[in-house]
Amino acid sequence: MTAYALMMVLAFMSSVFIFLPSEAILLTLANIDKVPPIEAFGRTLEVARYSTDFPWLLPFAAAFGSNFGSWLYYLMGKGSLNISDKLRKKIESFDFERLGKGREAVIFVSGVVSIPPVSATAIASGMIRFNFARYYAVSFAGKVVRYYLVLLIGRAAVETALRLF
């Protein structure tokens, strides 16, 4: 249970403070059971106790936490939270509204690959008053796909590395 809560909190922080990679945190938590006990200063730290029996739930926890952070950017775009004029003009120049039904595709792809940045699509969605529930669902689905890809590819890489070394 600790791993899921930790994943949600750190994914939220990752979406708000862009320099913290939630993908690396996901891989760490998904593979922490492979870490031997660490001995330092006469104490033993059993990091494996922070592992989970169901690592396939970690992408959902990561997507939930990350989407909660995107909600703050959505509120910025909507005007509920302050946004700098420079950033507002940059996003307005893109004219997100002209995409019409393609907005959902942009939000989904942004959730999967972070291009365009998730924060920019969240702000733009708020600015055009895009339905929040729809934004949240599409963004959440994209992020779940991304985190599952990270989990599957990362676990395969870790298991391959452990066999080789």
pLDDT at residue number 68: 92
- Could you give the 3-state DSSP secondary structure of residue 160? helix
Residue 106 above 90 pLDDT?
A: no
Q: What is the pLDDT of residues 38-65, one digit of tens each?
A: 888 888 878 777 777 788 899 999 999 9
CA distance 156 to 134: 33
Long-range pairs of 131-135 with CB within 8 A, sequence gap ≥ 24: 132/74, 134/104, 135/74, 135/107
Q: Per mean pLDDT, which range of 75-79, 86-90, 106-110, 156-160 is the poorest?
A: 86-90
3-state secondary structure of 100: coil
Position 97 scores a pLDDT of 67
Q: Is the Cβ–Cβ distance between 70 and 128 less than 8 Å?
A: no
Q: Does 21 sit behind a cis peptide bond, omega within 30 degrees of 0 on the bond before it?
A: no
CA distance linking residue 150 with residue 132, whole number of Å: 26
Average pLDDT over residues 11-20: 82
Mean pLDDT confidence for 65-81: 87
Q: How far apart are CA 38 and CA 154, in angstroms?
A: 23
State the pLDDT at residue 95: 66
Cα–Cα–Cα angle for 43, 30, 105, rounded to 5 degrees = 145
Q: What is the pLDDT of residue 115?
A: 78
**Residue 147, pLDDT score:** 94
